[in-house]
Structures are given as structure tokens and as C-alpha cells.
């Protein structure tokens, strides 16, 4: 239920308040999406690991857009983190009208050499957090018969990813999972949108130790603000899917007709360390 004021004059205003929850909201695509939501007067619940970064963004959004901002410093790569986010929101009686599942990380390198502990954290973040938050908030949306969810996936979910095997696999889960629950909710007023960016100019590649990869060092990187605009427009109009960028659209289309082994080999060559 929406929070209501005891004063009758404020009841209608309180009833019209809109709330959006954004994970990974302090940087990159998540930050740009939070900004777009704030511009449209959504009050925000922003989630990230570091309280200082959250506080800085909260001050920015409040001052620039005059919205309420609630910060939740949680580690979504832990099993309990996503549940703690949901419980914190529930305790405040906040109805989440828009859920943006965005937080995600990767790890670069040959699978036989990469850190399995880190990869389990990536699976819990990229899959587990999406799963838990979607389950919890979608139940509430179904009960109200209204709501929007944006799943930030990746074109990597459509392509095998040598040297990023686990990351690509997690995004394949997100894409398949999203398509299934889109179908399950097709007769409701809830819309679930899948956003598929390609290589984007964010801190993702630093965290993944991937800055020397050919595709990153030599290739062009999308502006996260432009990716967010694509995703936000699709979210607001209820589109099922948006692939951001013409080059990425072409890459995904080609992967549908080229044998997977050749797609994998091509991705491997692009992901190899740059010689420049």
C-alpha cells in the first residue's frame, strides 16, 4: 500500500508519489537511469555498496530534481543482501512502482585460471540479486496490477563469451529469465523490459581487469547516458526488449545465423589482449 498522510489535505499528494528502486545507482548506466527517473519526479531508492557514494548521489538528485532519495548501502553479491534491501523498503511502506535491476560485474581471463570465489560472487550479484529483487517486488506489483521492471542485461547474454565466460553466462540467464516472466505477466498491467547494451564507457572493465582487451582498448565505447536513454524510453513505453546501438543490433542479428562455434571464436579474438 502507498504511504498515506493523516492529514486529509495531503492524502491525494501522498497517493500520487512514485518510487523507483535502482541497483548499482552511483555509477555508469545505473546512475544515468536514476537521473532520468528523478527528472520525471520519481522518488528514488538507490542501492550500492558504498555509503559515501550513495550520499553524494542522493544530495545531487535532491538538489537538482527535488525528489526524495533513500539510500541503501548493501552488498548484493551476498546471499542476504537482496533480501535486506527488500525488507528495508517494506519496513518504510514504500511501494516500488519501477524496479531497475542494473548492478553487475564481470571477470576477465581464461576460465581455468580465474578466481572461483570471485565468480561465485558474480553469479550471486548478476543472477541472485536479479532473481530475489524481481521475485519480491513483482509479487507486490501483481497484487496492485501495476508496475514496471527494467532488466539491464547485455548483448553478451546473446553471445558466447570466451575470456568472460561466466559474465556472458549470467547475462544469458537474465535474458532467458526475463523472457519467461514477460510471458507469465502478459495479461497484467505490469511491463518488464530487457535492455541489452554492448561495450559501454563505465567502470565495469576496470573492475573486471579487462581494460587491455582488444574490444575495450581499441573499440568504440557507448556513452552510458545514451544507453540509459534507450533503456528508459523502452521501459516507459512498455517495450519487451531494446538493444542499444546499431552495431550491437547487427552483432546480435548476425549471431542468430552464424554457427555458435564461429561466434565464440570471433568473440575470443576480440577479447584477447590488445597488441597496441
Q: Is the dihedral of CA 200, 203, 208, 209 positive or negative?
A: positive
Q: How far is CA 231 from CA 100, 175, 219, 251, in A?
A: 10, 15, 22, 18
User: Are 185 and 246 a contacting pair, CB within 8 Å?
Assistant: no
Helix (H) or strand (E) holding 170: helix 165-184
Q: How far is CA 179 from CA 183, 203, 239, in A?
A: 6, 28, 12
Looking from the CA of 231 toward its CB, the CA atoms found within 13 Å total 34
DSSP for residue 218: T
Q: List, by residue number, the catalytic residues.
A: 167, 171
| Residue 67 in grid coordinates | 525528489
d(CA 218, CA 177): 33
d(CA 204, CA 194): 19
| Residue 48 in grid coordinates | 550500492
User: Are 121 and 103 a contacting pair, CB within 8 Å?
Assistant: no
Q: What are all long-range contacts of 59-64, with beta carbons under 8 Å and residues at least 24 apart?
A: 61/34, 61/35, 64/38
Amino acid at each position: 500500500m502507498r504511504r498515506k498522510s493523516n492529514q486529509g489535505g495531503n492524502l491525494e499528494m501522498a497517493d500520487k508519489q512514485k518510487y523507483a528502486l535502482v541497483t548499482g545507482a552511483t555509477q555508469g548506466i545505473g546512475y544515468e537511469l536514476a537521473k532520468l527517473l528523478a527528472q520525471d519526479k520519481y522518488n528514488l531508492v538507490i542501492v550500492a555498496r558504498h555509503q559515501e557514494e550513495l550520499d553524494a548521489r542522493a544530495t545531487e538528485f535532491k538538489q537538482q530534481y527535488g525528489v526524495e532519495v533513500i539510500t541503501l548501502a548493501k552488498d548484493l553479491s551476498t546471499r542476504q543482501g537482496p533480501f535486506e534491501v527488500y525488507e528495508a523498503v517494506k519496513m518504510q511502506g514504500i511501494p516500488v512502482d519501477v524496479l531497475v535491476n542494473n548492478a553487475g560485474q564481470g571477470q576477465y581471463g581464461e576460465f581455468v585460471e580465474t578466481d572461483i570465489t570471485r565468480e561465485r560472487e558474480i553469479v550471486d550479484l548478476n543472477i541472485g540479486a536479479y532473481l530475489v529483487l524481481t521475485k519480491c517486488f513483482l509479487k507486490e506489483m501483481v497484487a496492485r496490477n501495476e508496475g514496471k521492471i527494467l532488466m539491464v542485461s547485455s548483448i553478451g547474454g546473446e553471445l558466447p563469451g570466451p575470456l568472460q565466460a561466466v559474465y556472458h553466462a549470467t547475462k544469458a540467464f537474465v535474458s532467458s529469465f526475463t523472457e519467461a516472466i514477460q510471458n507469465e505477466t502478459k495479461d497484467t498491467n505490469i511491463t518488464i523490459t530487457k535492455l541489452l547494451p554492448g561495450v559501454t564507457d563505465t567502470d565495469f572493465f576496470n573492475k573486471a581487469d579487462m581494460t587491455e582487451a582488444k574490444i575495450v582498448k581499441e573499440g568504440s565505447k557507448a556513452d552510458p547516458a545514451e544507453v540509459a536513454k534507450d533503456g528508459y524510453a523502452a521501459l516507459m513505453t512498455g517495450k519487451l526488449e531494446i538493444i542499444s546501438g546499431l552495431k550491437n543490433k547487427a552483432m546480435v542479428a548476425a549471431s542468430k545465423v552464424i554457427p555458435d562455434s564461429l561466434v565464440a571464436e570471433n568473440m575470443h579474438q576480440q577479447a584477447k589482449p590488445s597488441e597496441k
